[in-house]
Structure 1
Amino acid sequence: MKRKIVFLALMLMPFAYAQEIKQVPQITVSGEGKVKVTPDQATISVSVETKGNVAKDVKKENDTKIDAVLKLIKKMNFASSDFRTQRVSLNPQYDYEKKKTSYNATQTIEIIVRDLNKYDELMDGLVNQGINRIDNVIFQSSKLADYESEARKLAMKEAKHKAEDYVSVLGQKVGKAMTISDNTQSYSPQPVYARFKTMSLAESDAAPRETLAAGEITITANVSVNFILE
Structure 2
Amino acid sequence: MRVLSVFMTVLALALPATADEAALATISVTGEGRVEAAPDMATLTLGVNNEAATAAEAMAANSEAVAAVIAKLRESGIEERDLQTTGLSLGPRYDHGNSGGAPKLAGYFASNMVTVRVRALDSLGSTLDAVVSEGANTLNGLSFGLQDDQAARDEARRLAVTDAARKAALYAEAAGVKLGRVMRIGEGGGQMPPMPMAMGAEAFAKSADVPVAPGELNLTSSVVVVYEIDD
For structure 2, the residue ranges without an aligned partner over 5 or more in a row are: 1-17, 98-102
Query: 2:14 corresponds to which residue?
Result: none
Q: Structure 1 residue 133 and structure 2 residue 138: aligned?
A: yes
SS in 2 for 1:213: coil
Point out the more displaced range, 138-147 or 206-215. Answer: 206-215
Q: 2:154 aligns with which of 141, 149, 153?
A: 149
Query: 1:80 corresponds to which residue?
Result: 80
CA displacement 1:32-66 (0-9 Å, x = unmatched): 00001111110111010111221100000000001
Q: Distance in 2 between matches of 1:20 and 1:124?
A: 63
Matches within 5 A, 1:179-218: 179-193=184-198, 196-197=199-200, 199-200=201-202, 203-204=203-204, 206-207=206-207, 209=209, 211-218=211-218
What is the Cα deviation at residue 190 of structure 1? 3.3
What is the Cα deviation at residue 187 of structure 1? 3.6
Matches within 5 A, 1:103-182: 103-182=108-187
Q: Distance in 2 between matches of 1:205 and 1:52?
A: 23
What is the Cα deviation at residue 86 of structure 1? 1.2
- Decide whether aligned partners of structure 1 residues 218 and 183 sit closer, same or farther in structure 2, where only a CA change above 3 A counts: same
- Decide whether aligned partners of structure 1 residues 85 and 75 sit closer, same or farther in structure 2, where only a CA change above 3 A counts: same
- How many residues align? The count is 208
Q: Distance in 1 between matches of 2:73 and 2:39?
A: 22
Q: Distance in 2 between matches of 1:221 and 1:20?
A: 27
For structure 1, the residue ranges without an aligned partner over 5 or more in a row are: 1-17
Q: Distance in 1 between matches of 2:186 and 2:88?
A: 42
CA displacement 1:64-115 (0-9 Å, x = unmatched): 0011011111112222101111111111122233622421111011111111
What is the Cα deviation at residue 229 of structure 1? 1.5
Point out the more displaced range, 23-32 or 168-177. Answer: 168-177
Output the TM-score relative to the length of structure 1: 0.83
SS in 1 for 2:88: strand
**Identical positions, percent:** 26
Query: 1:43 corresponds to which residue?
Result: 43
- Decide whether aligned partners of structure 1 residues 23 and 204 sit closer, same or farther in structure 2, where only a CA change above 3 A counts: closer
SS in 2 for 1:48: strand
What is the Cα deviation at residue 19 of structure 1? 9.1
SS in 1 for 2:78: coil
Amino acid at match of 1:184: G
Q: Distance in 2 between matches of 1:99 and 1:169?
A: 76
Q: Distance in 1 between matches of 2:214 and 2:207?
A: 17
Amino acid at match of 1:102: G
User: Contact 2:129–2:209 (CA<8 Å) still a contact in 1?
Assistant: no
Amino acid at match of 1:113: V
Query: 1:224 corresponds to which residue?
Result: 224
Q: Distance in 2 between matches of 1:43 and 1:24?
A: 50
Q: 2:104 aligns with which of 99, 115, 134?
A: 99
SS in 1 for 2:130: helix
- Decide whether aligned partners of structure 1 residues 173 and 210 sit closer, same or farther in structure 2, where only a CA change above 3 A counts: farther
SS in 1 for 2:135: coil
Query: 1:55 corresponds to which residue?
Result: 55
Q: Distance in 2 between matches of 1:170 and 1:84?
A: 57
Q: State the Cα RMSD in Å.
A: 2.1
